[in-house]
Amino acid sequence: MSENVPANVPGPGIVPGSVRIFDTTLRDGEQAPGAGLTVAEKIEVARQLVRLNVDVIEAGFPASSPGEFEAVAQIARETRGVAVAGLARCKDGDPQRAVEALRAAERPHLHVFIASSDIHLKHKLRISRDEALLAAAKWVAYGRKALGPDAEIEFSAEDATRTDLDFLMKIYEAAVDAGASTLNIPDTVGYAIPAEFGQLVHQVVDRFGSAATISVHCHNDLGLATSNTLAALQNGARQLEVCVNGLGERAGNASLEEVVMGIKTRPTQFPNLATRVATEQITPASRLVSYLTGFTVQPNKAIVGGNAFAHESGIHQDGVIKNPLTYEIMTPQSVGLSGSQLTIGKLSGRRGLREKLHSLGHDVDGEALDAVYAQVIALADAKKEVTDGDLLAIVEQRATDVPDTIRLQGWSVTSSHGGRAMGMISLSVLDQPRSVEATGNGPVDALYGAIDQALESVLGWKPILDEYEIKAVSAGEDAQGQVVVRVHRSTERAPAGDAFVATGHGLSTNIIEASVAAYLSGAEKLQTEAVAREAMIEEARASGQTPERVEKLP
C-alpha cells in the first residue's frame, strides 16, 4: 500500500469524508446463474436496500428485456432518498432505453460502459481503440444531455485491470470531457491483487479525482474482491460497488456486508471515512436476497453466515461469556441480529408477534401482521414450537406472492412400497377448471406429472424441473419443510430465446403440500414472464419489425 495516498477531492454529489455505497445486487448480483428475480421480487429487494440506506441502487439493465425495463422504471418511480442506476452498453439503443426507465427517478444515475482491454476489443467487440474512445464519449455526452446537469453519469472501462494504462487514461479523459461525473475502475475478471489495484486507483485518482468521483467494481475470482475494494478506498476511491451476500457473475462481487463492516470495524485504517449504511439492516437484507434467489448463504460466510457469531469451543465459550470482545470484533446487534429470545406459540398475541418479528429484522403491521399472525397460530396448532426459523420463513414467503392465475383447488395421492404412486390434482388455470390424474415413481413425481398435463392443456406449455431442494426450517419431527424449485418452460412449445428460469417456494409441515406449492409458484412466475414476452413480441410486430428481428428479441 502506498504511503503517499492522494488527498481525494470528492466528485459531484459526494460529501467530504463519506463513502458512497453502490449496490448492484439487482443487476450484477442477478447475473449469477440461477438467480433470476421477477419484477415483484426485484422491487421487494429494492425496498430493503432503501431500508439499508445504500447510496445507489443499480436496478438493472433496462435494454435487456421488457421485464427488466419495467423493474428499473418502477423502482425509479417508487424510490426516494436513494439514487437509482440503470446500466447501458455504449451501443445505440441501450442508453436511450436506460434514460427512458430512469426519467421518473428522484436521483437518476446512468451507468454506461464499454470494454477497454485489447483482449476484449479484439475478440469480443472487434473494434479498434479509437472506435472505443468515440463510443465512450458519444454515449456519455448523450446521457448528460438527456438527463441534465444534476444527474449522475457514470462511465466504466470494462476489464480495466487488464487494460493498457495509457489507453485507460485516454478513455477516462474522453469520458470526463464528455460529461462523466463518476469514473469506475472494474476488476471485471477478478484479476488484480490489492497492492497493484491500490496503485492503479491511486493513479486514476491523482489524474481525475478533482473532476469526478472514482469508483471501483471488484469481482471475486481469486477471492480478493473485498480486499481490493478496501485497498481502493485507502487509495482515494469514494464509490464502492458491491452486492449483498457477494452475489454476482462467476465467483461473485465484493460483498456489501464485508466491505461496510470492514470500514466500520477498522476506523483507524480508514480515517475520517464512513458509509451511511444502516448496518442493523444487513442481516434482513442478506436473508431476503438468499431466500428470493434460492442461494443459501454458507454457514462460515463472514458477517451474515449462520456461524458468524456462533461459538462451540469451550475456550471460546468461556471467553465470550466473560466478555464478548474476546472473540467478537463486532456485536451481533450491529448487523441486525438479536441476543434475546421471545417464544411464540398458539397463546401469543399480535403485539408479542410484532415485537418478535422486529427483533428478527422485519417490521410488519396492519393487514400484513394479521395475515402472518393467522399463519403462525395455525402452525402453532400443528407443531410443538414455532421457532425463529419458522417465523422468518413465513414472513419471507409473503415476499414472493404472485398473481393467482393458477389456483390450487385440491390434491390427493396414493403410494405404496415397491409400487408406483397415483396423484390427482384439481386446478383452475386462467379460470378454466382442470382435474387430472397421473402416475409417477413417487407422490411428488405423480403430482408434478398431473400438474404438467393440466397446465399444458390450457397454456400450451409445461414447467421443466431443473432443481428441487427440500430443507427443514427448524428442528424436530414436526418441523416445517421448505421446498425450493427452479423451473423453465418446455422448449417444444415455448418461443425461441425464452430462457427465463423461475424460482418457486413452498412451505408447509406437509412436505408433499410444500412441493406442490413450490411447483405452482414457479409455474405462475413462468406464466407472468410469458405474458410479458408475448406482449413485447406483439408490440414489435405492430411496429413493423421483421420476423427474424422479432425472434431475436431478448
Are 102 and 201 contained in the same domain?
yes
Split at pLDDT 50, 70, 90, the class of 13 is very low
Asked if residue 361 belongs to a domain, the reply is yes
Q: 511-542 and 443-459 are packed helices; what angle lies between their axes, rounded to 10 degrees?
A: 20
Are 451 and 392 contained in the same domain?
no
Are 99 and 150 contained in the same domain?
yes
Number of domains in the chain: 3
- 26 has a pLDDT exceeding 70: yes
For residue 109, which phi and psi values (nearest 5 degrees)?
-140, 100
Asked if residue 6 belongs to a domain, the reply is no
The least confident of 63-72, 396-405, 414-423 is 396-405
Are 172 and 49 contained in the same domain?
yes
Place of cell 408477534: 353
Residue 86 is part of a domain; what is its CATH number? 3.20.20.70
Are 71 and 197 contained in the same domain?
yes
| Radius of gyration (C-alpha) of the chain in whole angstroms | 25
Single-letter amino acid, residue 484: V
Asked if residue 14 belongs to a domain, the reply is no
Question: Measured between alpha carbons, how far is 213 from 363 in angstroms, rounded to an integer?
Answer: 35
Are 408 and 520 spatial neighbours (Cβ–Cβ below 8 Å)?
Answer: yes
Q: Which residues contact 73 (CB under 8 A, 6 or more apart)?
A: 62, 100, 101, 102, 104
Residue 356 is predicted with a pLDDT of: 72
Q: What is the pTM of this model?
A: 0.74
Are 136 and 168 contained in the same domain?
yes
Return the H-helix or E-strand segment holding 408: strand 406-414
Question: Measured between alpha carbons, how far is 60 from 220 in angstroms, rounded to an integer?
Answer: 20
Are 144 and 71 contained in the same domain?
yes
Are 177 and 55 contained in the same domain?
yes
pLDDT tens figures, 189-217: 999 999 999 999 999 999 999 999 999 99
* Total number of residues shown for the chain: 554
Average the pLDDT over 146-167 and give the result: 97
Residue 1 is predicted with a pLDDT of: 34
Split at pLDDT 50, 70, 90, the class of 381 is confident
Residue 411 is part of a domain; what is its CATH number? 3.30.160.270
Are 410 and 365 contained in the same domain?
no
224 vs 481, higher pLDDT: 224
C-alpha cell at 372: 402472518
C-alpha cell at 10: 470528492
Residue range of the domain that includes 395: 338-399
Residue 10 is predicted with a pLDDT of: 39
- 525 has a pLDDT exceeding 90: no
Asked if residue 266 belongs to a domain, the reply is yes
Single-letter amino acid, residue 446: A
Asked if residue 232 belongs to a domain, the reply is yes
Are 372 and 436 contained in the same domain?
no
Are 137 and 130 spatial neighbours (Cβ–Cβ below 8 Å)?
Answer: no
Write the DSSP string, 448-516.
Answer: HHHHHHHHHHHHS--EEEEEEEEEESSSSTTPPEEEEEEEEE-TTTSPTT----EEEEEEESSHHHHHH
Asked if residue 497 belongs to a domain, the reply is yes
pLDDT tens figures, 472-489: 776 666 677 889 899 998
- 239 has a pLDDT exceeding 90: yes
The least confident of 211-220, 233-242, 535-544 is 535-544
The least confident of 142-156, 265-279, 486-500 is 486-500
Q: Backbone dihedral region of 427: left (phi > 0), alpha (psi from -120 to 50 degrees) or beta? A: beta
Burial class (CB in 10 A: 0-12, 13-18, 19+), 339: exposed
Longest Cα separation, the chain: 75
The least confident of 94-108, 176-190, 538-552 is 538-552
Q: Which residues contact 78 (CB under 8 A, 6 or more apart)?
A: 43, 46, 47
- 275 has a pLDDT exceeding 60: yes
C-alpha cell at 55: 447510496
Distances in Å between the alpha carbon of 178 and those of 144, 236, 315? 8, 23, 60
The domain boundary, picked from 293, 327, 350, lies at 293
- DSSP class of residue 344 equals B
The domain boundary, picked from 293, 308, 330, lies at 293
Residue 478 is predicted with a pLDDT of: 64
The domain boundary, picked from 399, 414, 440, lies at 399
Are 362 and 287 contained in the same domain?
no
Are 211 and 352 contained in the same domain?
no
Split at pLDDT 50, 70, 90, the class of 361 is confident
Average the pLDDT over 398-406 and give the result: 67
Question: Measured between alpha carbons, how far is 516 from 19 in angstroms, rounded to an integer?
Answer: 46
The three-class DSSP label of residue 145 is: helix
- 254 has a pLDDT exceeding 60: yes
- 270 has a pLDDT exceeding 80: yes
Task: Provide the 10 A C-beta neighbour count for residue 134.
Answer: 14
The three-class DSSP label of residue 48 is: helix
Residue 341 is predicted with a pLDDT of: 38
Strands 432-440 and 421-429: what pairing? antiparallel
Question: Measured between alpha carbons, how far is 67 from 453 in angstroms, rounded to an integer?
Answer: 27
Are 66 and 98 spatial neighbours (Cβ–Cβ below 8 Å)?
Answer: no
